Amino acid sequence: MAWPPPTTFQTLSVLPLRAGLGLKSEHYRVILDQVPDVGFFEIHAENYFVAGGPMHHSLGRIRERYALSIHGVGLSIGGAGLLDRAHLAALKALLARYQPQAFSEHLAWSSHGGHFLNDLLPLPYTDITLQRVCAHIDQVQETLGRRLLLENPATYVEFAASTWDEADFIAEVVRRTGCGLLLDVNNAYVSCTNHGRDPDAYLTRLPLHAVGEIHLAGFAEDVDGAGARLLIDSHGAPVDDAVWALYRRALCYTGPVPTLIERDQNLPPFEVLLAEAHAADALLAEAAATIPMLQEVV
């Protein structure tokens, strides 16, 4: 069952129009003791695929005070095989337990033939892939009884067999399934840099009306075999200035959208991440003040 096409982000996410942080166990104590001014927290679903324990205890207490986004990293929506029904059932139970304001997954694959790969791998953008991805998203949304937000990937290689541009492929998935878009601005910058494309042009081809959440993160930098610049979506550094600038331009198209600061490696003190979240809050407030003026001009 395909959901009706989204018209505004309010139909996709009810997260506060604030910046949030990825929730790490290292920060449970400071969050519970100090109740910092954060718009929401986001967890990786698979970290909580157990019935009980200290992580659920802390998350339950944090959920009492904050909005929550749940981000899946292992559903393998782009995989060639069938979706793992046990994985989907575990997701359904987790969402029922915490009633998050948003749920998201990746346009990628990570399992095949019963083997699980600890990476989010790219897929060929063909008609066959499009049909399979849409069928998988329909199954997820029907099982969970809610829309998902589909995240644009960070990629380092592309398939010669692709017949669709990535942004057009994502727009068609959104149109056919009614899912929303998790706009990862860092992924957009990383992929476009790696493939020699203009990130602004890529951005404007995406279905920006369907953005329900934005991700910002830091990347690592290397060179490929030909000596060209190669960016890695590492989540191990502060948000780069170029990504902040692209985010600011993205908000001109979307208006204010709930925005997550992701950091999974080289975890700094909580106060450092909080400062990044507040920097995003300032840009969200700027967008909220600017968009009505732009609409009046139009």
CA atoms within 13 A on the CB side of 68: 19
Q: What is the pLDDT at residue 112? A: 82
Q: Is residue 297 left, alpha or beta, with left meaning phi > 0 and alpha meaning psi from -120 to 50?
A: alpha
Pairing of β 229-232 and β 220-223: antiparallel
- Above 50 in pLDDT, residue 232? yes
- Above 90 in pLDDT, residue 290? no
pLDDT (mean) for 89-109: 97
Long-range own/partner contacts, residues 230-238 (CB < 8 A, 24 or more apart): 230/156, 230/194, 231/189, 231/190, 231/193, 231/194, 232/156, 232/190, 233/154, 233/186, 233/187, 233/190, 234/265, 235/262, 235/263, 235/264, 235/265, 236/263, 236/264, 236/265, 236/266, 237/266, 238/272, 238/276
Alpha-helical runs (H) found in the chain: 28-34, 54-63, 85-98, 127-144, 166-177, 185-194, 199-205, 241-254, 270-297
pLDDT (mean) for 110-130: 89
- Above 60 in pLDDT, residue 188? yes
Q: Give the integer Cα–Cα distance in Å for 89 and 271.
A: 36
Comparing 13-22, 61-70, 286-295, which segment has the lowest mean pLDDT?
286-295
Give 67 or 294, the one with higher predicted confidence. Answer: 67
pLDDT (mean) for 32-59: 96
In this structure, which amino acid lies at residue 197? R
- What digits encode the pLDDT tens for the residues 151-160? 999 999 999 9
- What digits encode the pLDDT tens for the residues 238-284? 999 999 999 999 999 999 999 999 999 999 999 999 999 999 999 99
Q: What is the pLDDT at residue 5? A: 66
Q: What is the pLDDT at residue 110? A: 86
For residue 161, give the DSSP letter: T
The residue count for the chain? 298
pLDDT (mean) for 1-17: 68
- What digits encode the pLDDT tens for the residues 205-227? 999 999 999 999 999 999 988 88
- Above 50 in pLDDT, residue 181? yes
Kindly report the number of other CB atoms within 10 A of residue 281's CB atom: 19
Q: What is the pLDDT at residue 23? A: 98
Contact 292, 54 (CB under 8 A): no
Q: Give the integer Cα–Cα distance in Å for 223 and 231.
A: 8
Joined tokens for residue 85: 């029904």
Which band of pLDDT confidence, cut at 50, 70 and 90, is reported for residue 297?
very low
Q: Give the integer Cα–Cα distance in Å for 143 and 234.
A: 31
Q: What is the pLDDT at residue 169? A: 98
Which band of pLDDT confidence, cut at 50, 70 and 90, is reported for residue 204?
very high
Which band of pLDDT confidence, cut at 50, 70 and 90, is reported for residue 115?
confident
- Above 60 in pLDDT, residue 39? yes
Name the average pLDDT for the chain.
93
Contact 125, 155 (CB under 8 A): no
